[in-house]
């Protein structure tokens, strides 16, 4: 074969190969151009929806970071270790009983702490103060779940009179206690100092800080610096709070069997003045003690005279009480 024919066949082969490549790429190029034009045509619609807030953003692309809840620092030192050992040994049964009783008010208190963005471990202040008992009365006449003294109770809006003592009311007393703790934290910028002030009084803690810490606030370490100058009960207050917080978390993590009491739940019904709890209990077919436990703030077992007052009844019982009020006024069955 001559050189010229070889060159002609080679050129012809190149033209065939080149033609095939161009033929295969045309559909792709056309499809690509159509996609681009379609995207451009939809751009104004996307911009309109974006401006009007109608564009939904995929949660797979934008992931919200988990909420970081506030917490009380849990320092461990000799004072805390003493109470850790106490609650693990000689007072272990007492601790387990208190953790069981915690079930009564835990949901109530934690829910209010969460709403306010406050550390949930503050629930254990109620344990230390009263053993989660609205009936508790101290040697200095502090009363209720959060152990309010009379003047402080009135200062934070609690009603205390011959018929009502809201220091015993788990709901209103909790609201007042958290108001007080928020105020103390704002004043001292430290949960340890706020807890000490809750127990000993803010004025006393402030005087100790001025005398022994140059008036410094805002650091949890300051509590330990002035610890020996605090009243004896207050010296143990924060170490016990820390120890109980740690052991409660450990018990939950390790699966310790705790029998929690049923949570404090109720329906509300408004009744006339001087309505006896015993009569409400009779209308519901329950023991009077059930109504007393739901209404520990009604100190005389009846609602105050000359006013419509709310009574807490077991869940689902409000309609029965209302029906019983229709034909007659509720009076004490003991009279």
Cβ pair 177, 197 in contact under 8 A:
no
Cβ pair 111, 104 in contact under 8 A:
no
Cβ pair 224, 76 in contact under 8 A:
no
Burial of 161 (0-12, 13-18, 19+ CB in 10 A): exposed
Distance CA 275, CA 33 (A): 83
Distance CA 170, CA 146 (A): 9
Structure tokens at 152: 């402080």
Q: Which residues partner with 268 through β-bridges?
A: 312
Of 187, 236, 188, which Cα lies nearest the Cα of 78? 236
* 333 CB neighbour count, 10 Å cutoff: 12
Structure tokens at 62: 């934008």
**Looking at residue 324, what is its pLDDT?**
80
| Residue 29: partners with Cβ closer than 8 Å, 6 or more residues away | none
**Looking at residue 120, what is its pLDDT?**
96
**Looking at residue 150, what is its pLDDT?**
95
* 251 CB neighbour count, 10 Å cutoff: 15
Q: Which residues partner with 269 through β-bridges?
A: 311
Q: What is the pLDDT of residues 54-77, one digit of tens each?
A: 434 334 443 444 455 678 999 999
| Residue 40: partners with Cβ closer than 8 Å, 6 or more residues away | none
**Whole-model pTM above 0.75?**
yes
Q: What is the pLDDT of residues 212-245, one digit of tens each?
A: 999 999 999 999 999 999 999 999 999 999 999 9
Of 148, 144, 142, 150, which Cα lies nearest the Cα of 132? 144
* 75 CB neighbour count, 10 Å cutoff: 15
**Looking at residue 304, what is its pLDDT?**
97
Question: Which regions of the chain are under pLDDT 70?
Answer: 1-69, 326-335
| Residue 194: partners with Cβ closer than 8 Å, 6 or more residues away | 181, 184, 185, 187, 188
**Looking at residue 321, what is its pLDDT?**
87
Ordered alpha helix ranges (H), the chain:
3-51, 78-88, 92-116, 123-130, 150-155, 170-188, 191-200, 202-212, 221-225, 232-254, 277-284, 288-294, 318-325
**Looking at residue 19, what is its pLDDT?**
40
Share of the chain above pLDDT 70, in %: 76
**Looking at residue 326, what is its pLDDT?**
64
What Cα–Cα distance (Å) separates residue 232 from each residue in 126, 199, 247?
19, 11, 23
Residue 43 CA neighbour count, 13 Å, CB half: 7
Distance CA 285, CA 1 (A): 119
Burial of 105 (0-12, 13-18, 19+ CB in 10 A): buried
């Amino acid at each position: 074969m001559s050189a010229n024919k070889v060159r002609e066949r080679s050129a012809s082969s190149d033209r065939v190969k080149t033609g095939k490549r161009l033929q295969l790429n045309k559909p792709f190029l056309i499809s690509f151009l159509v996609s681009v034009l379609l995207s451009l045509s939809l751009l104004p619609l996307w911009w309109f929806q974006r401006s009007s807030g109608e564009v939904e953003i995929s949660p797979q692309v934008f992931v919200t970071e988990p909420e970081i809840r506030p917490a009380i620092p849990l320092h461990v030192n000799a004072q805390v270790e003493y109470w850790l050992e106490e609650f693990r040994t000689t007072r272990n049964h007492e601790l387990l009983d208190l953790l069981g009783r915690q079930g009564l008010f835990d949901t109530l208190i934690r829910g209010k702490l969460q709403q306010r963005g406050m550390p949930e471990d503050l629930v254990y202040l109620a344990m230390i103060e009263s053993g989660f008992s609205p009936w508790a009365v101290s040697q200095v006449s502090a009363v209720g779940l959060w152990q309010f003294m009379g003047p402080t109770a009135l200062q934070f809006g609690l009603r205390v009179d011959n018929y009502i003592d809201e220091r015993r009311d788990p709901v209103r007393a909790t609201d007042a206690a958290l108001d007080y703790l928020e105020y103390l934290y704002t004043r001292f910028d430290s949960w340890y100092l706020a807890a000490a002030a809750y127990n000993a009084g803010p004025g006393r803690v402030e005087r100790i800080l001025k005398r022994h810490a140059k008036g410094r606030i805002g650091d949890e370490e300051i509590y330990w610096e002035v610890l020996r100058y605090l009243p004896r009960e207050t010296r143990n207050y924060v170490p016990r709070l820390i120890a109980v917080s740690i052991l409660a978390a450990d018990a939950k993590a390790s699966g310790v069997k705790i029998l929690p009491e049923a949570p404090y739940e109720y329906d509300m019904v408004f009744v006339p003045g001087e309505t006896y709890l015993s009569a409400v209990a009779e209308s519901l077919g329950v023991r009077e003690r059930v109504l007393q436990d739901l209404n520990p703030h009604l100190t005389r077992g009846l609602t105050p005279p000359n006013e419509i007052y709310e009574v807490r009844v077991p869940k689902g019982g409000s309609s029965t009480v209302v029906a019983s009020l229709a034909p007659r006024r509720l009076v004490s069955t003991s009279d």
